[in-house]
Structure 1
Amino acid sequence: MGELGDDVIAFLSDGTRTAKLGYVAADGRPLVAPVWFIVDGNQLVFNTGKQSAKGRALSRDPRVVICVDDQHPPYSFVQVQGTASTSDDPDELLDFATRIGGRYMGADRAEEYGRRNATPSELIVRVTPTKVNKAFNITD
C-alpha cells in the first residue's frame, strides 16, 4: 500500500488546493473532475452525489487517481493512485462535509457547507493510496 509521508500530507493540506480526480466512465473513458478534499490519516476524503457521474463510476470501479499541484514556481505536485470506498453514514457525512467546507470556505461557513453537503443524496469517498508519486520544487 502507498503511504502518505509527512511531506506529502503537508503539501496536500496546504491552503485550498483543489484535487483533480481521475476515474473511469461506464464506457471505459477516463474522466477528470475537480474535488474539494481533506487528508484523514493515510486517506484522502471528499464528498460527491450518489447519482453524480463520480458517484456512479466509483460504485462500478473503485480505481482512482488524484493529482494535486502547486501552479506557482518552483512548481510541485503529488499524484495518489488508489482505491475508493464510499459511505452514506449521516454522522460521517456531516463531520467530513463540515471539515471540507471549513477548509475551502473558511471556519465561519464550515457548518453551513457541512449541512448543505450532508444530505441523504451524498456520499463520503475515502481514497486509500496504492501508490504515491511526488515532485517538489521542480524548477529549482
Structure 2
Amino acid sequence: MPKLTDAERNAFLAERKVVMKIGVVRPDGSPFVTPLWFIHEDGAIWFTPRERSEWFDCLRRDPRCSLCIDEQPLPYRKVIVEGRAELVHDVGEDDEWRDLYRRMAARYVPEKDAEAYVRNTIGERRGLFRVKLADAKVRTWRLPLKDEPGEGIWAKRYFQDPNVQFDTRGPEKS
C-alpha cells in the first residue's frame, strides 16, 4: 500500500479546502467525530474549537484524539493521526493567535473574505489546540500513481484467502 512521502504529506496538508475530521472521547466513553478546519504549520496540526463546542469539553477532559484528513478524488490520499491534543491557548487568549486563525480561515474562504470572517466571528471565544506530528502515530496512504505498480494496494490482512493477489482492479485468485 503506497504511503505518502513526507513531502507529499506536507503538500497535501497544505492544500486549500481539505477538511479534517476529529474523533474525541465523550465522558461516557463513546466516540464523537466532527469535521473542522485546520492548518498544518511547524510540524503540527492546529485547530480551534469554539468555547461551547462539545468536542472542546471532551478534549479538556481527555486530550486523546484521532485526526482524519482525506480526499474523495483520486488518488484518495489520507493522513491519519493518533495523538494527544495540546491546548496551546485557552479561551480569552484569542488575540495572541489571531494571525494563525486568519491563515486558517484563508484556507477555506477566499483570502479577501478571511479577514471579514475573523471579524464577524471575533465574539465567539475559542481555544487553540495542536497535535505535534513527531509525538503522534501518523499513517498515510494513497492509491498508486500512474507510473507505480498497482499490486499490493490493500493489506493482506483484509483477505481471508492468503492466495488472493490484488491490484487496483480488485482481487484475483493466483
Structure 1 residues 75-90: aligned runs within 5 Å: 75-86=76-87, 87-88=89-90, 89-90=93-94
Partner Cα distance (1:121, 1:56) in 2: 14
Amino acid in the other structure paired with 2:101: A
Amino acid in the other structure paired with 1:109: D
Amino acid in the other structure paired with 1:121: R
**Structure 1 residue 124: Cα displacement:** 1.2
Partner Cα distance (1:38, 1:18) in 2: 10
Structure 2 alignment gaps of length 5 or more: 145-152, 154-167, 169-174
Aligned to 1:15: 16
Identity %: 33
**Structure 1 residue 55: Cα displacement:** 0.8
1:73-99 deviation digits (Å, cap 9, x = unpaired): 231211011211121322334122211
Tell me how large the CA RMSD over aligned residues is. Answer: 1.9
Partner residue of 2:142 out of 128, 136, 139: 136
Amino acid in the other structure paired with 1:5: D
**Structure 1 residue 108: Cα displacement:** 0.3
- 8 A contact 2:63–2:85 mirrored in 1: yes
Whose relative contact order is higher, 1 or 2, with alpha carbons under 8 Å and at least 6 apart?
1
Partner residue of 1:94 out of 89, 98, 101: 98
Which protein is bigger by CA-based radius of gyration?
A: 2
More strand by share: 1
More displaced 10-residue stretch of structure 1: 9-18 or 28-37: 9-18
1:115 aligns with 2:119: yes
- How many corresponding residue pairs? 137
More displaced 10-residue stretch of structure 1: 83-92 or 26-35: 83-92
Q: TM-score, normalised by structure 2?
A: 0.71
Q: TM-score, normalised by structure 1?
A: 0.87
Aligned to 2:51: 50
